[in-house]
């Protein structure tokens, strides 16, 4: 390695480039000095609901289980050279030790160090495995390139991996950038570049078939893709430029470079999510707009349009489909100074179904957990338990809001069944009392297909003996908000939070979210933390303050939906 250490780039430092959010690199180096506050240093930050922290820790646990299992099948060496206190010296020592192990013919190395002098990049691959041993790792022997005495690189990911029909991972996957850096460094040692690297995922999907064991296969990735190589080099050059020039750059009031514009579609932005939100309040970035991605943003910038509040900004700039262009133009029109607070004046979308208030109708939101909180008791099969752990159900009675929440005692299937039983019975009792045979159950789905209906149907599959009737679901987002479309001044999309916050800001509804879990992901992590605490204390989930806060968050989700629909009925 040369003495010019600052021009060397670690494989772990290029991920933000591949997320199309290089602003995060500048914030990492200069953010606090420039007055921006990272999420974990903000008032109200709660590490117990931080999904990023949670998933990093789960990834470490998964990696440890993988290595423990493989050590029973092959010789895996770990580097013994301690940290020297100086980065360059440490990396040179680790690389020297790795080189010696490879030349000695060891079967595998865990977190060896590889250095590529050509690209001036370096990294520590999770596993470097001799090709003859590579074939024995998984149930399905992988395609192997090179001689048996050559080595290949494996990156371990606590995530599902999709394998294309042709048998490889898509070259556009941002998971491959680090793998290529490792592969280049390995080539510098063994004198030959392998065209394949591998991902060992938690699960796999190929040809629409899911494989639930992490050892079902190794997912091969082409390392000889020219576009991937060029993108990795650009990412490294970007990091060098940020280090050498970034101290003199600014983000506000106008970014020094287009790379400093926030990608508001990227949510993997810890610890700078809130800083990005604040920056975007000033910049009004085009990626704030519905269906405008970082791929579409340059279409505006090349036309001299970098802000969505530019009078010249309209959907024709972004080359959208006719349907999406129509909706986006409605959103943009509603943000003009002369526009009404809510459009259209009269809403026709499914009006005969929802616009008239009935004696009883329900406003429902589920809080769920996925299977990510795996205790690895079924390893190598993916474990964890997807569940509904909370159901919020509100209705209007004599003009007043009434609300019931149903919270599982524990995160288990028996508790899930109990709260669904109680919720169904609650709605049946009210329906009978008000003489409504099949009242509407309003929800606000965040996806094209109803996540709420899917969660309920998944629960029914987990409880085949249950006789729960199908609620009369009404997805207000899909059937009214987007279909009309209904646009609100201050809302650039149709999500419940965007719409409710804009309507509250405009004085149209009263309810809003206070401090507490910021979204469904935070509520999910909070539920997992509560489960661990409830087991330790031998108590119910609802006995814990964090679960009560999640319950308050859940009620606001339901109540703002009620207030929004009530306003639209009265005024539109």
Instruction: Say if CB 478 and CB 445 are below 8 A apart.
Output: yes
The number of residues in the chain equals 572
Task: Name residue, tokens 């082409």.
Answer: 222
Residue 238 has pLDDT above 90, yes or no: yes
Residue 5 has pLDDT above 90, yes or no: no
Instruction: Say if CB 108 and CB 188 are below 8 A apart.
Output: no
What does the pLDDT read at residue 139? Answer: 79
Structure tokens belonging to residue 243: 């280090």
The answer to whether 5-234 and 351-571 have equal CATH topology is no
Mean pLDDT of the chain: 92
What does the pLDDT read at residue 429? Answer: 97
In the predicted model, what is the mean pLDDT of residues 204-225? Answer: 92
Give 356's Cβ-side CA count (13 Å radius).
4
Strand pairing partners for 401?
Answer: 396
Residue 249 has pLDDT above 80, yes or no: yes
What does the pLDDT read at residue 412? Answer: 95
Out of 3.30.420.10, 3.20.20.60, 3.90.1150.10, 2.40.110.10, select the CATH number for domain 351-571. Answer: 3.30.420.10
In the predicted model, what is the mean pLDDT of residues 43-57? Answer: 91
Say what angle helices 520-537 and 545-571 make with each other, to 10 degrees: 150
Q: What's the alpha-carbon Rg for the chain, to the nearest Å?
A: 27
Among 455, 445, 520, smallest CA distance to 483 is for 445
pLDDT tens track for 75-114 = 999 988 777 667 888 899 999 999 999 999 999 999 999 9
Percent of the chain with pLDDT over 70: 96
546's CB contacts (< 8 A; 6+ apart) are: 48, 49, 526, 529, 530, 533
In the predicted model, what is the mean pLDDT of residues 299-325? Answer: 96
The band of 449, judged by pLDDT with boundaries at 50, 70 and 90, is: very low
Percent of the chain with pLDDT over 90: 82
Q: Residue 67: is the preceding peptide bond cis (ω within 30°)?
A: no
CA 306/CA 284 separation, integer angstroms: 8
CA 492/CA 468 separation, integer angstroms: 38
What does the pLDDT read at residue 171? Answer: 67
What does the pLDDT read at residue 451? Answer: 60
Taking the domains of the chain in order of start, what are their residue ranges?
5-234, 256-340, 351-571
For the chain, how far is it from start to end, CA to CA, in angstroms? 68
Q: Which helix (H) or strand (E) holds 394?
A: strand 387-397
Q: Give the rounded distance of the alpha carbon of 28 from its chain centre.
A: 20
Burial class (CB in 10 A: 0-12, 13-18, 19+), 383: middle
| 218 vs 84: which has the higher pLDDT | 218
Residue 178 has pLDDT above 60, yes or no: yes
Among 382, 395, 406, 517, smallest CA distance to 459 is for 406
What does the pLDDT read at residue 461? Answer: 82
pTM listed for this prediction: 0.92
Q: Which CATH class is domain 5-234?
A: alpha beta
Among 174, 180, 168, smallest CA distance to 204 is for 168
What does the pLDDT read at residue 164? Answer: 84
| 89 vs 119: which has the higher pLDDT | 119
In the predicted model, what is the mean pLDDT of residues 556-562? Answer: 96
Give 186's Cβ-side CA count (13 Å radius).
31
Instruction: Say if CB 341 and CB 489 are below 8 A apart.
Output: yes
Residue 448 has pLDDT above 60, yes or no: no
């Amino acid at each position: 390695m040369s003495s010019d250490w600052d021009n060397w780039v670690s494989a772990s430092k290029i991920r933000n480039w591949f997320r199309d959010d290089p602003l995060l690199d500048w914030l990492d180096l200069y953010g606090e000095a420039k007055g921006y506050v990272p999420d974990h240093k903000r008032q109200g930050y709660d590490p117990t609901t931080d999904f990023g922290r949670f998933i990093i820790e789960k990834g470490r646990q998964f990696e440890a289980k993988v290595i423990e299992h493989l050590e029973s099948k092959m010789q895996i060496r770990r580097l013994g050279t301690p940290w020297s206190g100086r980065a360059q010296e440490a990396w040179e020592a680790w690389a020297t030790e790795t080189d010696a192990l490879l030349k000695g013919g060891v079967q595998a190395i865990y977190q060896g160090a590889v250095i590529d002098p050509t690209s001036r990049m370096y990294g520590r691959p999770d596993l470097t495995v001799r090709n003859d041993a590579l074939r024995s790792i998984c149930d399905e022997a992988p395609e192997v390139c090179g001689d048996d005495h050559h080595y290949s690189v494996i990156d371990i990911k606590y995530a599902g991996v999709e394998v294309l029909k042709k048998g490889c991972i898509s070259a556009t996957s941002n998971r491959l950038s680090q793998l290529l850096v490792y592969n280049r460094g390995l080539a510098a040692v063994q004198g030959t570049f392998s065209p394949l690297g591998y991902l060992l995922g938690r699960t796999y999907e190929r040809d629409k078939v899911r494989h639930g064991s992490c050892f079902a296969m190794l997912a091969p990735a082409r390392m000889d893709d020219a576009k991937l190589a060029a993108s990795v080099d650009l990412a490294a050059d970007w990091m060098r430029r940020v280090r050498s020039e970034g101290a003199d750059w600014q983000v506000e009031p106008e970014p020094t470079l287009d790379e400093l514009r926030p990608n508001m579609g990227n949510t993997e932005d810890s610890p700078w999510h809130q800083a990005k939100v604040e920056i975007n309040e000033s910049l009004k970035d085009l990626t704030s707009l519905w269906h405008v991605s970082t791929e579409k943003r340059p279409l505006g910038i090349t036309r001299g349009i970098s802000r969505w509040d530019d009078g010249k900004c309209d959907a024709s700039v972004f080359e959208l489909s006719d349907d999406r262009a129509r909706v986006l133009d409605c959103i943009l029109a509603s943000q003009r100074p002369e526009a009404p607070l809510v459009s259209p004046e009269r809403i026709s979308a499914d009006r005969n179904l929802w616009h008239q208030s009935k004696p009883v109708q329900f406003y429902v939101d589920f809080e769920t957990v996925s299977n990510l909180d795996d205790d690895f008791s079924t390893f190598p099969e993916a474990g964890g338990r997807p569940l509904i752990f909370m159901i919020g159900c509100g209705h209007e009675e004599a003009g007043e809001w009434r609300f019931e929440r149903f919270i599982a005692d524990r995160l288990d299937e028996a508790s899930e069944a109990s709260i669904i039983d109680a919720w169904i019975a609650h709605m049946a009792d009210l329906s009978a009392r008000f003489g409504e045979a099949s009242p509407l159950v309003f929800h606000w789905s965040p996806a094209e297909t109803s996540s709420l209906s899917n969660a309920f149907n998944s629960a029914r599959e987990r409880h085949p003996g249950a006789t729960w009737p199908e609620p009369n679901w009404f997805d207000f987002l899909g059937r009214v908000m987007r279909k009309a479309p209904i646009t609100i001044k201050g809302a650039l999309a149709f999500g419940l939070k965007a719409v409710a916050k804009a309507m509250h800001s405009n004085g149209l509804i009263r309810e809003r979210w206070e401090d507490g879990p910021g979204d469904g992901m935070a509520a999910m992590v909070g539920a997992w933390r509560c489960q661990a605490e409830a087991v330790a204390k031998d108590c119910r989930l609802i006995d814990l303050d964090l679960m009560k806060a999640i319950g308050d968050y859940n009620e606001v989700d339901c109540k703002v939906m009620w207030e929004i629909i009530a306003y639209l009925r009265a005024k539109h």
